[in-house]
Each structure stands twice: as structure tokens, then as C-alpha cells.
Chain A
């Protein structure tokens, strides 16, 4: 080995440099060709934050990014917050996202939106197939490192590890998509500065969506929480303890019609038990409609779907949650 090194020292250095440039160029190619979405934008934006800038980190799925307004959080607490949440993000991905985020930021508080524990969000072992763009985007958004490798190992079947780690294999076909390339270039140059991970819809709930749960039959079967989600919830709690971070569990409000159609009590009780097992505070907003100000009339004005709030709804919920958590702490 030593002989090989000394004989070809210059060549080895050349090879190393060649590979280094190749990796950088490949990375740039992915930047240009990747069909970007809010998840990858959120990651790109997250990595531009100054170290230690984030004091409150909000994680979870779409309920999280549609329910908490960082401006109001800042106004109420004087702290800067960041929403590292993505569509149908489960607790497994949440755990790895937090782990990755802690390499760059050290928040004093993490809020986990509790719907990330929902059984439907179990990617690898559930019914959702292994190749899911939301899961991919989360992993593709992460920088390469141990955490990313762990996330892939945990969330993909071994035969798909290469698929997960080589986004170029998935996005190279976009060389002909001028829109994708231009959108990525724009985000690189300008969009990143204007981006916010808080993106509730500005529209109100349409009559068609509202009608979905109007008069829906009651389903008594309680929702379950998968073992993998439970395990990673415990891991997340453990991680927060080790890092001396306060972890809160908050369930954002959902549309009253929907709540009444499912065995919600059974579901929220399970989450409360989980929170209690880790000694965490659990705040279920669905039990405080009046306190939040979600009157019957408001449901049509503050939601965009039976799960998601619009901007006005998010403002109200943010005020309530942070008043409840921080006032209570004080």
C-alpha cells in the first residue's frame, strides 16, 4: 500500500481532486434538476440560518406548518422559531429531522405536532409504498452525513438504499424541463431570501370540502399509533432530554365535523398516555375550541380543509398555544 502511494502520489492526488470536483458538480446538477417542493425548499432555507439562530423548533407534518405563525411566536415570546415540518411527516422522519437540525441549531424548545404520530404516516412498514416523494424530499433535503444514512437505513428497504441516496438517478430526466431548472435557479438566487416555512393557505374552506364531513357517520374504531412511530417518539424525547431541550406535544385543531365522525377521544387519550410516559406536556387544541376562538361560524373562515387551518386560523391557534404553554410555565 505504502509503495502504491509513494509511486503514484501525484496521480492519487489528481484522482482525489477529480472525484472531489465530480461530487461537487453532481451535487450542483441535483440542485438544478431536482423537482423542488416546499420540503426541499424548507431544508435549503434551514441550512442558510445562522448557527444558534433558532430558539423554538416546530416539527411534524402539514398540521405543523399550517398552524404556527413564527411572527406571532416571536411577538409573544421574543424568540425566533423555525418550522421544520413537511407533508405527512411521521415521527420516524421527525426524529431524524430533529437530529439533523441539532447539528446546526440548538433550540431550547421543540414542539411536536401530535398528528405526526398518526398511523397513516408510517412509510416503511405500513401500506404506503417505499418510494414516496415526501419521504424522498425530506431525505434529499438533508445534507449528506451520518444522520442522513441513518434515516435511509431506517426508512427504506435495503434494496432501495441506493435509490434513496442517489437523487440524480431520480431527477436526471428533468434535463428537458426548463421550468424545473429555472425554478431551481430562481430559488438559488432570490427565492431563498423570501422563503418562509410557514405556509398556510390563504383561502377558506370550500363548501365541497366542508360537505365531506357534514353528517358523516360516527366510526367508533379508535385510531392506532404504530410501533415505529411510538419507538421514534421515545427516541425523540430521549434526544431532547440529552440535549436539555423542552419538548411539547401539541395537537393542532381539526375541523369539528371530522372530529365528531371519529373516535377521537380514544386517539387523543393514547397520545396523552405517551406524553405522560415521557413526562411531557400535551396540549390538545381540539378540547379548547372556545378558548382559541373557534366558534361554529369560524370553522368556515379559519380552515382550508378538515385538517388544515388557514392563516387566520393559524394566528389564533398560535396565540392560544403559546399563551397556554408559556403562561403555564411562568
Chain B
């Protein structure tokens, strides 16, 4: 059940209505039933998998907690190892087995050895990377004695399967969500309105921006030999916004839906394209995953307190793994590695850059400098996105080459067909809507970056103005959204991870 489907438009109000009508002590059971139904709507067989993951991590958490209290260091390590093996094993089987086999056979072929391996055609269960990481995070937290184990299996099952964030995050940490599942959530109209507004903004990002860009990006990436270098660049720049609005939109819908029910989920994005460095970008992009990797991979590896070269090693390992988490393909690994490399090189050249600025007398406390930083950061991040979006490494490299060898300056700035837009599957009027929407998006992100309380500002306005904004948002989605029978119901990009 996609958030942008009519099924969800029926499902969600029913869940909310019943949630507030039934006695409080049974509400979590209702949410659990709704979450399992939500997940089963993709494929009922997936329920077995999520149930098994839940049961293993719950039992593991209890056993580790028991040994924590008894001081049995050795056995709790075993329990932790078993939980990790189970979760990563499931993930490995469904997500990486075909990739590993292909990599192995390709590697052997390089040495002239032909290996015949079994073919696994496994369908990747929706959201598996998200809930296995959430379950792993919980077990790690119990192991570190950050939280006690949850004794109520059904409540823990809800922690793993809570439907707003089940299939594409945010990857919630037990410290944030678990206690909320025990709290009573009263009916609060203001909170519901705030949640609905956030959901509306999420739908705007997804349906008006991301899915509109997808038409152009898909066309160019699928037929890149027919397009000039500048057109490939345009598509890649737009892809940066597509993935942001797709995933950011999903996250806003998820956080908004949870808020309607009374829960506060982790904020997953903080105006990432206003970042002035790649490391800042990663502190504001997919925050729940970045902090997960930071807390459970980067810091245990030694973090940045183990010498310069080991720190660089840790960064590269963490980002490569992050790339691999996104998809079983070398292009994802390269994407992760590139983002790691940017940070390593940035750190290595920090002193040199500082001296250069001093020598050239470049002012760093002005808007123009920050703008330049933002543009450069965006450019680096965007080059990495090309690897992320391309079908494979070969395609990515060819597109990069084409961007340099076949720039197509004249056709790109042809006054009769600016950007060659008429050839890129997106009608001119749609392109205009897209540009206006992107301006709105960047304005809102700028206000957020300035920590402006947009919701508060709106609340202080007169009712007619507020309603005008609400109707404007609804009609922007309804009229300009890319949905309906003439389009395939577009899934969220991060669902595949």
C-alpha cells in the first residue's frame, strides 16, 4: 500500500479514527494490527519474515538484558552475534546473494575461470533494509545497556512494524520510539492539523516535484546516447531534487502520519542542499541512517579518535557500507565511496585551503562565500548521484564521458527549444510548473535552515490566509500532481532498498 495510493487514503483515516475511539490500553494492539495489514498489502508472505525478525531480536534482547543484569559477559556476546547473524543473514539472502554470486563469477572470469553458480531470483521484500536495521539497533542498544529490553512482545512487534515508518524509515532508535509506544496519546486537534499539513507537504514533494522530474530523468537516463552532455547534466541536477523530494516527501508523510497518531519520529532531512560541505550534507541527509552508521559502525571502528589514517579508513568503510546498504550493485558502492572520499580529501586539504584563503584574502563570513560553498558541495554530491541513478557502472562512466565529449552547447541554449526540453519527454508547461515548485521547495528549505517556525508563523495568521494556504497546497497536489490512470502509480525510490 503506497502512501500515494487510494488504498492509503482510505486506510489512514480509518486507522486514526479507530485509534482514538478504542480504549487507550488497547490502542497499541490496534496499531500493530493496522501495521501488519499495511505490510501484508504488498505480500502476505512477507509477514512471516518480519515476524521472524521481530521474534529473534526480541528474544535476543531479553536474553542479553538478563545476562547484562547477571554480569555474564561471554554469553551475551553470543546472543548478540546470533541476532546480528540472523538479521544480516536475512538481508544478505534477499538483497545481496545474487550480487555476490555475480561478483564472484565475474571475478573468476577475469582469471579465465568459468564458474557455474546457481541462479537466485529472490524478490526483495519491501522495507527489509529498514526494519532489519531498526531491529539491529535495538539489540545493540540493549547490549550497550542504553535501554532495558522490552518485555511485551506485541509492543516490541509494533516498534519494528509501526506502519508510517515501516517500509522506508526513518530508522527509529529504540530510545526515541519505544517509550512513546507505552505513553498515552490524547486526541489533540492542533497536533493532528500539524501532522496533516506535514503530510500535505510530503505529498507535494512526491507528486508534484519528484514524480514530474522522474519523467525527464527516466527518459534521459534510459536513452543517454541520444542526449548531449548538458542535457545529461540537467537530468542529473534534477535527479538530485527527485531523490530528495521522493525520499524527503516520504519521510514527511511518515513523520506527519505518526504525528497525527501522537508519535514524534526522527526528522530525516534538514535542508540538505543548503549544506556548505559534504560532511554537513551527510549530517542533514537521511539522518536516521547516517546516525545509525555513525553509532554502530563508525564509532565502534574507532571513529575519529584513532589517528588520522584510521579515521579516513573508518570513513571510507562506513560510506562504502552505506552505499551497499542502498543497493546490491557496484554503482551504489562507488556512490558511497565517492561521498567518503570527498570527506577524506576535504579533511586532508583543510589546512591548505585555509592558507589559500588567507593568501588570496578571501572573505569567508559573507553570503557569497557560503553560496559558492553550497554550489560546490551540490556539484560534488550531484556527481555522486549520477552513479547512484545510472543502471550500472558502465552506463555511469559512459554518461560522464558523454558529458565532457559531447557538450551540446548550441542545442542546449537554442532559443526555440531551450535546454532541448521538447526532446526530454517533459512538456514545457510541466517544466514551468516544476521550476516554480522547486523555487517553493528551496524557499521552504531556506526558512527551515534559518530555523523559522513555518507552522507557527502560519498559525498566527488570520483564518482566511491559513485556509488559502491549505487549499493552495491541496489544489497544487490535486491539479499538478503526477498521478492517476495516465501514469503508473509511482513507487517511492527508497522502497527498493
Contact = CB atoms under 8 A, between A and B. Distances in A.
Interface string B407-451: 000000000000000000001011000000000000000000000
B63 interface: no
B418 to A, nearest CB: 18
Given A4-B187, A8-B189, A162-B6, A173 B486 contact: yes
Given A173-B484, A176-B429, A176-B430, A168 B6 contact: no
A162 B4 CA distance: 13
A123 to B, nearest CB: 16
A272 interface: no
A296 interface: no
B187 A18 contact: no
Given A18-B470, A176-B429, A29 B479 contact: yes
Given A4-B187, A29-B479, A166 B427 contact: no
A172 B21 CA distance: 35
Interface string A3-42: 0100010010010001001100110010001000000000
B484 A170 contact: yes
Contact of B484 (A1, A11, A169, A176): A169
Contacts of A8: 189
Interface in B435-480: 463, 467, 470-471, 474-475, 478-480
Contact of B480 (A1, A163, A168, A175): A175
Greatest chain A CB density within 10 A among B427, B480, B484 is at B484
A29 B475 contact: yes
Contact of B481 (A22, A172, A176): A172
Given A26-B478, A29-B479, A163 B485 contact: yes
B483 interface: yes
A4 B6 CA distance: 28
Contacts of A223: none
Contacts of A172: 478-481, 483-484
B244 to A, nearest CB: 24
A25 B189 contact: no
Given A18-B467, A175-B480, A169 B485 contact: yes
A173 B474 CA distance: 15
Contacts of A25: 471, 475
Contacts of A21: 467, 471
Contacts of A168: 478
Nearest to B485: A170
A175 B427 CA distance: 12
Interface residues of A, number: 23
Interface in A84-141: 131
Contact of B478 (A11, A18, A29, A131): A29
A166 B6 contact: yes
B470 A175 contact: no
Interface residues of B, number: 23
A175 B430 CA distance: 10
Contacts of A176: 427, 429-430
Nearest to A166: B6
B277 to A, nearest CB: 40
Contacts of B480: 172, 175
A166 B427 CA distance: 25
A251 B396 CA distance: 66
Greatest chain A CB density within 10 A among B189, B427, B429, B471 is at B189
A32 to B, nearest CB: 10
Nearest to A161: B6
Contact of B474 (A22, A131, A163): A22
A14 B189 CA distance: 12
Contact of B189 (A11, A18, A169): A11
A1 B20 CA distance: 10
Given A29-B478, A172-B479, A22 B471 contact: yes
Nearest to A1: B21
A163 B427 CA distance: 25
Contacts of A169: 6, 483-485
A175 B189 CA distance: 34
A23 B470 CA distance: 14
Nearest to A15: B189
A182 to B, nearest CB: 16
Nearest to B430: A176
Greatest chain B CB density within 10 A among A11, A170, A175 is at A175
Nearest to B429: A176
Interface string B174-196: 00000000000001010000000
Interface string A252-289: 00000000000000000000000000000000000000
Contacts of B486: 170, 173
Nearest to B10: A162
A128 to B, nearest CB: 16
A175 B479 contact: yes
Contacts of B463: 14
A78 to B, nearest CB: 47
A22 B196 CA distance: 15
Contacts of B478: 26, 29, 168, 172
Contacts of A173: 484, 486
Nearest to A14: B463
B185 to A, nearest CB: 14
B468 to A, nearest CB: 11
Contacts of B475: 25, 29
Contacts of B484: 169-170, 172-173
Contacts of A33: 479
Interface string B10-31: 1000000000110000000000
Contacts of A14: 463
A151 B77 CA distance: 64
Nearest to A175: B479
A241 to B, nearest CB: 38
Interface string A164-200: 0010111011011000000000000000000000000
A6 to B, nearest CB: 13
A169 B482 CA distance: 10
A33 B430 CA distance: 16
A175 B484 CA distance: 14
The 6 closest A-B pairs by CB, nearest first: A162-B6, A169-B484, A176-B429, A175-B479, A172-B479, A11-B189
Given A22-B474, A172-B481, 12 more contacts: A11-B189, A18-B467, A26-B478, A29-B475, A33-B479, A169-B485, A172-B478, A172-B479, A172-B484, A175-B480, A176-B429, A176-B430
14 contacts: A4-B20, A8-B189, A14-B463, A21-B471, A22-B471, A26-B478, A29-B478, A29-B479, A33-B479, A169-B483, A169-B485, A170-B484, A175-B479, A176-B427
